Structure 1
Amino acid sequence: MKAMLDLVARHKSGQACGIYSVCSAHPLVIEAACVHAVQTGLDVLLIEATCNQVNQDGGYTGMRPGDFRDFVYAIAREAGLPVERVLLGGDHLGPNPWTGLPADEAMAKAEVLIEQYVAAGFRKIHADCSMSCADDPTPLPEDVVARRAARLIKVAEATQRRVGGEACVYVIGTEVPVPGGAAEDLPELEATTPEAARTTLEAHRVIFAEEGLADAWTRVIAIVVQPGVEFDHHKVIDYDRAKAARLRGALDDQAHVVFEAHSTDYQTPQALKALVEDHFAILKVGPGVTFALREALWALDAIEREWIGEDRASGLRHVAIARMTAEPRNWAKYYHATGADLRFDLQYSLSDRIRYYWPDPSIVSAQAQMFANLTDNPPPMALISQYLPGANAALRDAAFPPTPTNLVIAHIGATLEAYRAACTPEPE
């Protein structure tokens, strides 16, 4: 992970540079990220999987770490992005998928998780042991969190030595909601205090030293804290750099540590830029890009119905809502509305629980039919511009045909471009 170490060194030297991390397992999102990286000349593309998406049991994607690596690399090669420019990371790696078990059992499974991620070539590891297991107090004491993280990083270090390749870099700290979504209705958020950030760092440093992980500590590149940004189903809490002013200097005496910002989805381009300037040099985006995917698919659904008629259309939108209604397990804990309000949340909630349903066979079939219909019966530019004006313009500028896939990729690319611009220093 020399690329990550070099990035942090440049940022700590005074450059307002950063990197964004795409946290998604959808093939069109991964393809869009790879195409965008090629088109913009991105040095490296960071793609991460969470413990819930990808684990030894298959996660909700059905993929194990090696499967996800092969999946991403195949898409990168097809897009013309050398796999050497793709960095793989694991997000929230720890016992979270197994918190219903006693801690000893959950942590044993987390060790297998870490071993499989590192063996598969993932080298950016966020060790997250903040969640309480079945026999734990709530919340967990800081030293317990740190000691469990050290336990997992020991496994990562041993695995890397066994399989070879670059040494891992690590992210610690977890002052964000657990993976899977924020609370239904968020109040205004306070940024993490500098005292809390320093306490977390010091607790981990001491325990790493006790556990013989002094060398690994030099590769702890980031701490996850709360900059005061988040989103719930219907609103976004925008970054207010004045509220995070005290936090900005908390890492001035840490030569190799920056902040990692989670839940930056839906932030404005200006806010993303300010976050990087304020030392949140790693920006995570997940629901924001799958929300853009859904926007593009709904636009294509509208184009299809208008262009070829309801009787011949795939009905993708109807199929997706019907499947979500029939199988509520991935949204029932989050959406509590009824009737028209529930139908709205199923489609448009910013927490984007619909992303869990794209692999459903009925939805996959409907999407394939829609793409085929629009490929066999290309809609006119005026209709494309009506529903996807930005993507239409981008494809015309690039002289690319407005195929369904290209339109989706271009629409997602606009979201990714805001992140790329935020992570790029202004020319001197």
Structure 2
Amino acid sequence: MKTIVKTHKNDRQHGIYSVCSAHPLVIEAVLLFNRSLDTHVLIEATSNQVNQYGGYTGMQPADFRDFVFAIANKVKFPTSRIILGGDHLGPNCWQHESAEVAMQKAEVLIAQYVKAGFRKIHLDTSMSCADDSMPLAPDVVAERSARLCLVAENTATDSQKHALSYVIGTEVPIPGGEAHAIETALVTTVDNAKLTISRHQQAFQQLGLNDAFKRVIAIVVQPGVEFDQHNIIQYQRQKALDLSAFIDTTPFVYEAHSTDYQTPAHLKQLVHDHFAILKVGPALTFALREAVFALAMIEKVIIAPAQQSQIMAVMDDVMLDNPQYWQKYYDSKYSKYRVELDYSLSDRCRYYWPDPSINQALDKLLSNLSSTTIALGVLSQYMPIQFNHVLAKQCQHEPKSLLIDKIQDVLRQYDQACRSSTIHV
């Protein structure tokens, strides 16, 4: 990560995108996409996905590492080129408890991530706990971040310390996405960015973490990009000019969250303006869901009704039976939440893919379509981009490859943004 940041500081044209997903098909798509490229792949788990209690994926940090590496071995991708990151590591999952109890659990969380070999650690203690004031004072946030950093440093071996990189700051929505419709996203001020850096530096120094602070590579700020269920706020670089100029005078870069659904031009601009780490998550599983639904429509055309997977109905049934991951985010009106259930840009379907009944339906869908030939005319109707890729022999004419290629449509935009030197104002 330090080499990537150094390269960016020299030319403003290179960055890295961070894949925030625990879906095996997304991970496979990322590794296959990068296999022939001379690049490192950054894959991150969030504290609510993966923690010492399993998170919503059922995985602890070591489990997630083994999960990613197993896929890498299957597709013959060198694990040495994989950078594992931990996102929003702090008391986020335990905000309903007292600050001290939540922080003690966050310390265990950090230690497990470091022991498992995660090399990029986002220290996020910005959220208020049950006995905290709202919002937290910057000093408190910084002190808690330093406390967690001390745990990481005490846990890491000497060789791990050399490879550890830290990210600080959290001027972004809470993990999980926006619960309400958005109209604008305020850009972080230069004063707030300076304050985040100075307070963290002071807090690190007080705990004797001067060397660790030298390994802080990025600060999370709000560049003015966001999305909710149906709206996307695109990057307006003129609003972030001061922020971009400031970070250029420091050894740091910015990490931009919620860059999902930004246009290719906006992604390029973000990298050029020192948002050198671009986070993407829901857009990838949204593409996965689109591909699965497209294949389900193809299945309706070419497979007898009694043999169909009914995966779209299965997905809806599972989500309706267990609404905890979407209920507080989606509109209460039937006519609206029925659309949001499947088609929301926040893609809360992503929380349900591990369900056994959904996995069984997906396996049946792929098996059904693998047992026959998808007519090109039908493929063009429901997956027109993949139709063109099949004709150009860039994608195999079989269902799993079509699904993987659909996910890679998103990756292509991020890869071009992190490599391209062409910037449009």
In which range does the TM-score fall when normalised by the shorter chain? over 0.9
Residue identity matched to 1:394 = H
**Residue number among 10, 28, 35 corresponding to 1:13 in the alignment:** 10
Secondary structure at the aligned position of 1:13 is classed as helix
1:352-391 maps to which residues of 2 (within 5 A)?
A: 352-391=347-386
- Give the letter aligned to residue 314 of structure 1: S
| Letter aligned with residue 189 of structure 2 | T
SS at match of 2:254: strand
Q: Is the 8 A contact 1:263 1:284 kept in 2?
A: yes
Q: Deviations over 1:332-371 (max 9, x none)?
A: 1111232232111000001111110111111111111111
Q: 2:412 matched to 1:417?
A: yes
After superposition, give the CA deviation of every residue in 1:152-200 in whole Å (9 maximum; x if it has no partner): 1111111112784743100000000110111321121221111110111
Which of 26, 30, 50 is the aligned partner of 2:27?
A: 30
Q: Deviations over 1:287-316 (max 9, x none)?
A: 010100000000000000111133221100
Whether 1:95 aligns to 2:121 is no
**What is the identity, as a one-letter code, of the residue corresponding to 1:372?**
S
Alignment-derived partner of residue 401 in structure 1: 396
Contact 2:12 / 2:274 at 8 angstroms: preserved in 1? no
Point out where structure 2 has 5 or more consecutive residues left out of the alignment: none
**In the alignment, is the contact (CA less than 8 A) between 2:309 and 2:362 conserved in 1?**
yes
Kindly provide the CA deviation profile for residues 365-392 of structure 1, in whole angstroms up to 9, marking residues without a partner as x.
1111111100112221221122112123
Among 290, 296, 299, the alignment partner of 2:294 is 299
User: What does 1:310-321 align with in structure 2 at a 5 Å threshold?
Assistant: 310-321=305-316
2:221 matched residue in structure 1:
225
Q: Which amino acid counterpart does residue 312 of structure 1 have in structure 2?
A: Q
Letter paired with 1:150: A
Distance (Å, rounded) in 2 between the aligned partners of 1:140 and 1:400: 50
Instruction: Tell me which residue corresponds to 2:262.
Output: 267
Q: What is the aligned partner in structure 1 of residue 173 from structure 2?
A: 177
> Which residue among 146, 159, 166 is the counterpart of 2:155?
159
RMSD: 1.5
Which residue of structure 1 lines up, in the alignment, with residue 121 of structure 2? 125
Look up the equivalent residue of 1:7 and give its one-letter code.
I
Q: How does 1:57-72 map to 2 (within 5 A)?
A: 57-72=53-68
Partner of 1:81: 77
Partner secondary structure for residue 242 of structure 1: helix
Please identify, of 336-345 and 55-64, the stretch whose mean Cα deviation from structure 2 is larger: 336-345
- Alpha-carbon distance between aligned partners in 1 of 2:273 and 2:186, rounded to the nearest angstrom: 16
Q: Which amino acid aligns with 1:342?
A: Y
The answer on whether the counterparts of 1:95 and 1:107 sit within 8 Å (CA) in structure 2 is yes
TM-score under structure 2 normalisation?
0.97
**Where does the alignment leave 5 or more consecutive residues of structure 1 unmatched?**
none
Greater Cα offset, 176-185 or 145-154: 176-185
Which residue identity is paired with 1:264? T
Residue of structure 1 equivalent to 2:184: 188
Counterpart Cα distance in 1 of 2:203 and 2:387: 54
Q: 1:366 to 1:81 in 2, by over 3 A?
A: same
In the alignment, does 2:43 pair up with 1:50? Answer: no
Contact 1:160–1:167 (CA<8 Å) still a contact in 2?
no
Kept in 2, the 8 Å contact 1:224–1:262? The answer is yes
Of the structure 1 ranges 42-51 and 393-402, higher mean CA displacement relative to structure 2 is found in 393-402
Q: How many residues align?
A: 423
Q: Does structure 2 retain, via aligned residues, the 8 Å contact 1:156–1:168?
A: no
Percent identity over the alignment is 52
Task: Tell me which amino acid in the other structure corresponds to 2:157.
Answer: R
| Letter of the 2:362 counterpart | Q
SS of 1:243's equivalent in the other structure is: helix
**Residue pair 2:179, 2:330 contacting (<8 A) in 1 also:** no
- Separation in 1 of the partners of 2:237 and 2:126? 26
Shift of the 12–240 alpha-carbon distance from structure 1 to 2, 3 Å rule, reads same
> Which of 164, 168, 172 is the equivalent residue of 1:168?
164
* Closer/same/farther in 2, CA of residues 340 and 329 from structure 1, 3 Å limit: same
- For 2:49 and 2:29, locate their aligned partners in 1 and report how far apart those are by CA, in whole Å: 19
Distance 1:382 1:247, change over 3 A: same
In 2, Cα distance between equivalents of 1:410 and 1:166: 36
Distance 1:245 1:142 in 2: 24
- Whole-angstrom distance in 2 between the partners of 1:396 and 1:88: 36
Deviations 1:309-333, CA, capped at 9 Å, x for gaps = 3322110001101111111111111
The runs of at least 4 aligned residues of structure 1 exceeding 6 Å deviation read none
CA distance in 1: counterparts of 2:259 and 2:393, whole angstroms: 29
The amino acid across from 1:31 in the alignment is E
Q: 1:337 aligns with which of 332, 337, 345?
A: 332
Question: Which stretch of structure 1 is more off in the superposition, 59-68 or 246-255?
Answer: 246-255
Contact 1:119 1:163 in 2 (8 A): no
- The answer on whether the counterparts of 1:51 and 1:93 sit within 8 Å (CA) in structure 2 is yes
Find 1:281's aligned residue among 276, 284, 290: 276
> Contact (CA 8 Å) 2:12, 2:273: kept in 1 or not?
no
Contact 2:91 2:106 in 1 (8 A): yes
One-letter amino acid matched to 1:302: M
Secondary structure at the aligned position of 2:153 is classed as helix
**More moved, 381-390 vs 264-273:** 381-390
CA distance in structure 2 between the partners assigned to 1:217 and 1:165 by the alignment = 12
Match of 2:137 among 137, 141, 144: 141
